[in-house]
Amino acid sequence: MATKTPSTLRIGYRYRPGRLAEKYDAIVIGSGMSGLTSAALLSDLGWKVCVLEQHYTAGGFTHSYERNGYEWDVGVHYIGEVGAKTGTRKMFDYLSGGNLHWAPMDDEYDRFYIGDKVFNAVAGKDEYRDNLIRQFPREEIAIDRYLRLLAKAGSALRAYGMKRSFGFWHYLLMWPYLLWKSSRFLFRNTYDVLSELTSDQDLIAVLCGQWGDMGLPPRQSTFLVHSMIVRHYLHGGYYPIGGSWRIADSIIPKIQAAGGEVFTYAAVENIVVEEGKVRGVLMKDGHRIECPCVISSAGVGNTFQKLLPADIAEHAGYKRKLQNVEPSIAHLGVYIGLKSTAEKLGLPKTNFWIYPDNDYDAAVERFVNNENEPFPVVYISFPSAKDPNYLERHPGTATIEIVAPAPYQWFEKWRDKTWGKRGDDYDAFKAELGERLMNHLYDKLPGLRGKVDYYEVSTPLSTNWFSGYQHGELYGLSHTPTRMQQKWLRPKTTIPGLWLTGQDILTCGVTGAMMAGMLTTTSIVGMRKMAPLLKRIYS
Ligand SMILES: Cc1cc2nc3c(=O)[nH]c(=O)nc-3n(C[C@H](O)[C@H](O)[C@H](O)COP(=O)(O)OP(=O)(O)OC[C@H]3O[C@@H](n4cnc5c(N)ncnc54)[C@H](O)[C@@H]3O)c2cc1C
């Protein structure tokens, strides 16, 4: 039975060939939310699952790390739909055996600084509406029409997910329902849909104030994903008590209980395909693990360009299909530690979104073409303020995180250098970008000047190094209208025994990845076997 490594933030069991069981029913590549969800659900159906994670800790983007007495999350700032017994909450409760708890953020969960104006989003459907109308009193009709569109998008989103997991006969049977629920407006770009409701550019900017949650500004994103995100947070934002690493920590026992394991430092080099079928994986250390069922949550780019032999990926048509999708933008992260508590420093449980003006698309374009232009969005989050247990782990301290987009190309020249040793020019560039981001923090909270004890900056190369995304992408594939209509982005591949899961087959977000894990499990075992389990989860 596995034990944790000495630090509580290193979860999972260190891989050694000798620690593997003789036989597994499935191998999952990657231990992010989607990989763990697939593994846990299969485990509950009696499968023995081996999860292989290349990083030193399990969790993918839900992992946290410690340095200098502080703890930061890398890819979780807030999660919606967990404040009541929603489907999302029931799935989290089930996977974690009821051991994952949630703390609500302030009612004002998102604050938008747009140029010199300040707007916000508040928790609760009616409260959200009334608050918008207070901010835009002349736009009541547009706001109500917008909320009706969001409601329509809700059931269409479910149909979208179902389509991804159905086999041919199921699809045929459900086709009238799916057709009824599919709407073309979902695949239009967000700006076009919204500009038919209103010409108020500030209102459009506020409605799209969370565009950073999927990485595409309104003229490039699909209304489908926009509406999914707004709906997700409509009843407020929540934070996993104890930190985001608790997500993986609470799910792993389910996998172990069925005889499976989550291995860290376990980089998969290749997916082994022989005679047209998956036979297992080849590890980076040369060890081969036999298994007829391999689920990849490592992203479709990695799966088809790196893990599968090139001739097989090409023969199966994936090389051509990949030309229709592109990586999402990459990001910078600033991880800040302060030697005082969130309460004493007055840090809010509200995310800040800082924009130079209300034309998000133009700001992105200016910035990607010229690094000296203002950041098109700066996102600031206050994790220690959100976590009621933080001080038990790190007494007398507080943390802040900043996220901002940054093209991978700016960093590409250092890609072959080792983490921590990329040279003075890289360090100087990073420091300059970090300083600019820190100034945004001081601009909004001037009282913090002189109180920061430590901060460090991550770049797209850090994302590449720790999470394996080839272009340091923030959210896997870019959520463009074209990507969202790619029918091949589904769990079942054309290579027998190879399955996909993760943010690339549905949408980004911890919940998106969790639902992808559920769809993948359903696709593998079939609806007949899955239905009783789903009934247990959702009853
Ligand atoms: C800065 C940032 C902030 C975010 N904030 C939020 C938020 O507030 N709320 C929210 O809901 N979502 C947020 N997200 C998005 C969310 O974290 C992700 O969409 C989601 O966690 C992705 O899960 P996944 O399972 O698809 O992939 P991942 O979590 O990326 O898991 C894939 C795993 O595969 C592993 N892997 C890759 N290649 C190999 C290999 N060859 N061998 C073994 N293992 C391999 C990787 O190391 C990784 O652990 C954020 C993301 C980022 C980057």
Residue 503 in contact with ligand 1 by CB distance below 6 A: yes
Measured by CA distance, the residue closest to atom 2 of ligand 1 is 75
Measured by CA distance, the residue closest to atom 34 of ligand 1 is 30
Expressed in angstroms and rounded, the spacing between residue 329 Cα and the centre of ligand 1 is 14
Average pLDDT over residues 358-386: 98
**pLDDT averaged over every residue in the chain:** 94
Residue 33 in contact with ligand 1 by CB distance below 6 A: yes
Q: Are 151 and 214 found together in one domain?
A: yes
pLDDT at 458 over 70: yes
Q: Which amino acid is at 376?
A: P
Three state DSSP letters for 218-251: CCCCEHHHHHHHHHHHCCCCEEECCCCHHHHHHH
Q: Cα(302)–Cα(477) distance, rounded to whole angstroms?
A: 11
Query: Residue 312: how many CB atoms within 10 A of its CB?
Result: 17
Expressed in angstroms and rounded, the spacing between residue 122 Cα and the centre of ligand 1 is 27
Torsions phi, psi for 280 (to 5 deg)? 150, -155
Q: What pLDDT score does 153 carry?
A: 84
Q: Which CATH number characterizes residue 271's domain? A: 3.50.50.60
Q: Are 230 and 252 found together in one domain?
A: no
Q: Are 223 and 141 found together in one domain?
A: yes
Let me know if residue 474 belongs to a domain.
no
Q: Are 229 and 267 found together in one domain?
A: no
Could you give the 3-state DSSP secondary structure of residue 54?
coil
Q: Are 183 and 269 found together in one domain?
A: no
Reported as a single tens digit per residue, the pLDDT across 138-159 is 999 999 999 999 988 887 777 7
Q: What pLDDT score does 154 carry?
A: 80
**Residues 401, 381 contacting (CB under 8 angstroms):** yes
Q: Cα(255)–Cα(47) distance, rounded to whole angstroms?
A: 9
Q: Range of 199's domain?
A: 124-234
Residue 362 is classified by DSSP as H
Measured by CA distance, the residue closest to atom 37 of ligand 1 is 298
Give the tokens for residue 85. Answer: 């017994």
Q: Cα(488)–Cα(485) distance, rounded to whole angstroms?
A: 9
Let me know if residue 289 belongs to a domain.
yes
Three state DSSP letters for 395-419: CCCEEEEEEEECCHHHCHHHCCCCC
Q: What does the CA dihedral 480, 485, 486, 490 come to, rounded to 10 degrees?
A: 110
- Run of H or E including 41: helix 33-44
Q: Cα(132)–Cα(124) distance, rounded to whole angstroms?
A: 12
Residue 75 in contact with ligand 1 by CB distance below 6 A: yes
Q: Which atom of ligand 1 is nearest to the CA of 36?
A: 25
Domain end call among 193, 210, 234: 234
| Residue 4 pLDDT class (50, 70, 90 cuts) | very low
Expressed in angstroms and rounded, the spacing between residue 75 Cα and the centre of ligand 1 is 7
For the chain, count helices (H), then strands (E). 21, 20
Q: Are 156 and 190 found together in one domain?
A: yes
- β-pairing, 26-29 vs 49-52, is parallel
Q: Are 197 and 263 found together in one domain?
A: no
The count of structural domains within the chain is 2
Q: Are 145 and 188 found together in one domain?
A: yes
Domain end call among 178, 206, 234: 234
Let me know if residue 346 belongs to a domain.
no
Reported as a single tens digit per residue, the pLDDT across 501-514 is 999 999 999 999 99
Q: Which atom of ligand 1 is nearest to the CA of 512?
A: 19
Q: Are 209 and 270 found together in one domain?
A: no
Helices (H), 68-112: 87-95
Residue 215 in contact with ligand 1 by CB distance below 6 A: no
Q: Are 135 and 191 found together in one domain?
A: yes
Q: Are 150 and 230 found together in one domain?
A: yes
Let me know if residue 280 belongs to a domain.
yes
Domain end call among 189, 212, 234: 234
Residue 420 is classified by DSSP as T
Give the tokens for residue 72. Answer: 């930061």
pLDDT at 110 over 90: yes
Report the percentage of the chain scoring pLDDT > 90: 90
Residue 29 in contact with ligand 1 by CB distance below 6 A: yes
Expressed in angstroms and rounded, the spacing between residue 504 Cα and the centre of ligand 1 is 10
Let me know if residue 441 belongs to a domain.
no
pLDDT at 284 over 60: yes
Let me know if residue 477 belongs to a domain.
no
Reported as a single tens digit per residue, the pLDDT across 464-509 is 999 999 999 999 999 999 999 899 999 999 999 999 999 999 999 9
Let me know if residue 252 belongs to a domain.
yes
Let me know if residue 246 belongs to a domain.
yes
Q: Are 180 and 222 found together in one domain?
A: yes
pLDDT at 225 over 90: yes
Expressed in angstroms and rounded, the spacing between residue 407 Cα and the centre of ligand 1 is 18
Residue 510 in contact with ligand 1 by CB distance below 6 A: yes
